[in-house]
Amino acid sequence: MEKAAIDALLKEMQAPTRGEPTPRVKAIVDRIVRDLFYVIDEYDVEPSEFWSAVNYLTQAGRNDEYGLIAAGLGFERFLDVRLDAAEEAAGLTGGTPRTIEGPLYVAGAPLCKGEARLDDGSEEGEILIMHGQVRDTDGRPVAGAHVEVWHANTRGNYSFFDKSQSPFNLRRTIETDAEGRYRFRTTMPSGYAVPPDGSTDTLLKQLGRHGHRPAHIHFFVSAPGYRKLTTQINIDGDPYLHDDFAFATRDGLIPAVERNQDPDAIAEAGLNAPFARIAFDFELRSEAAALPSAEVQRPRAEAA
């Protein structure tokens, strides 16, 4: 079609006919519709293809997979890149890199002071001890910070979404001690994969992509006066370490994993089996005026 003919159609269709439009919503929706008209025309999309796409989107919603699709198409990473750029433009530098939250956080995990055990003891996996300090960008410890941690089990599944796990398995909030320290014991996670043959998997296959993530552990780290940090660490050595379908791997978020077989080290850690250990410190950026909020509002699961 002639560009002028498409634009004339859009002008007619997008004219307000009742009441005052909400300017931001109208501007964005009008732009998306315009871009889709152009895509349909440029790719000569047939009516059956259009309705197939509508049906795909309907089914993806029914499957509750938009959180996965948003990550897989790179939107979640793109929002992070834009937040990073806004902070840099405001002169905020240093601090632990942010990376995506993903759709598998559950609010309301038990609060523990200083240290916690995350696993319920039902799995045989490798024992992992992770510990470190929360500091500000000047190196001062942040006491009383909340370190919210969640991760998958040895099969790559998350409690709450995987109903075979106990409530809040592998999920806790740890309050840092007077020196800003936290510590937890857990079982080493495995990488996550999107549900086989679900909406995300179907789409990714058509794009010549897979739906795997490297093994990782999620964190929200927050304290009054600081920007909330949403981040993850990846488990070094994972085959998908630099091939994450959600684009969340970042330099500075791949700490060394120390494997301990030595009986003295095992006894000193209060354990009776070999274990892995990760030391990782978090650095929080101070809150600053006129920045987009680092406290992202999105629908999140909440366990009773």
Binding stretches for ligand BEZ (CB under 6 A)? 68, 71, 102-104, 192, 213, 246
Shortest distance (Å) from residue 158 CB to ligand BEZ: 7
**Nearest residue to the partner Fe ion, using Cβ:** 102
Shortest distance (Å) from residue 102 CB to Fe ion: 5
The partner in contact with residue 103, picked from ligand BEZ, Fe ion, none with C-beta cut-offs of 5 to 8 angstroms by kind, is: ligand BEZ
CA dist 165 and 207 (Å) reads 33
Encoded one letter per residue, x for contact with Fe ion by CB under 5 A and - for no contact, window 62-101 reads ----------------------------------------
Say whether residue 102 binds Fe ion (CB under 5 A).
Answer: yes
Shortest distance (Å) from residue 226 CB to Fe ion: 23
Q: Given the complex with Fe ion, which of 182 and 192 has the nearer CB atom? A: 192
Shortest distance (Å) from residue 104 CB to Fe ion: 5
Q: Given the complex with Fe ion, which of 102 and 211 has the nearer CB atom? A: 102
Q: State the residues that interact with Fe ion by CB under 5 A.
A: 102
